[in-house]
Amino acid sequence: MGYRTLKLERDEGVALLTLNRPEVHNAMDQAMFLELKAAALELSLDPEIKAVVITGAGPSFSSGLDLGSFQGLDKLTRFQFFSMLQELQKAFLAYETMAKPVIAAVNGLAYGAGMELALACDVRFASENASFGLLEIKFGIIPDLGACRRLARLVGPGFARELIYTGDVIDAQQSHRIGLVEHVCPQDKVLDEALKLARRLAKGPSLAIGMAKQVILRSQDADPEAALELEAMAQTLCLFSEDHKEAVRSFLEGKKPNYRGN
Rounded CA-CA distance 58/245 in Å is 44
Residue at 219 is within a domain: yes
pLDDT of residue 171: 98
pLDDT of residue 74: 82
Helix (H, G, I), strand (E, B) or coil at 85: helix
Q: What is the pTM of this model?
A: 0.95
pLDDT of residue 203: 95
pLDDT of residue 251: 87
Rounded CA-CA distance 252/197 in Å is 26
Helix (H, G, I), strand (E, B) or coil at 106: strand
Q: Which of 42, 87, 136, 231 is catalytic?
A: 136
Rounded CA-CA distance 187/199 in Å is 20
Residues in the chain: 262
Tell me, yes or no, whether 38 and 67 share the same domain.
yes
Q: CATH number, domain at 225?
A: 1.10.12
Tell me, yes or no, whether 76 and 162 share the same domain.
yes
pLDDT of residue 85: 94
Residue at 1 is within a domain: no
Tell me, yes or no, whether 107 and 136 share the same domain.
yes
Contact between 18 and 56 under an 8 Å Cβ cutoff? The reply is yes
pLDDT of residue 34: 96
Instruction: Residue 247: give the domain boundaries.
Output: 206-253
Residue at 190 is within a domain: yes
**Would you give the distance in Å from CA 118 to the centre of its chain?**
5
Q: Which of 116, 128, 162, 225 is catalytic?
A: 116
Residues 6+ apart with CB under 8 A from 91: 33, 34, 36, 37, 40
Based on the residue annotation, tell me whether 225 is a catalytic residue of this protein.
Answer: no
- Give the containing element (helix H, strand E) for 119: helix 113-119
Beta-bridge mates of residue 81: none
Q: What is the DSSP letter of 28?
A: B
Tell me, yes or no, whether 61 and 154 share the same domain.
yes
Question: What are the residue ranges in the chain where pLDDT is below 50?
Answer: none
pLDDT of residue 221: 83
Based on the residue annotation, tell me whether 136 is a catalytic residue of this protein.
Answer: yes
Tell me, yes or no, whether 128 and 237 share the same domain.
no
Tell me, yes or no, whether 135 and 244 share the same domain.
no
Tell me, yes or no, whether 198 and 210 share the same domain.
no
Domains: count for the chain: 2
Rounded CA-CA distance 150/92 in Å is 11
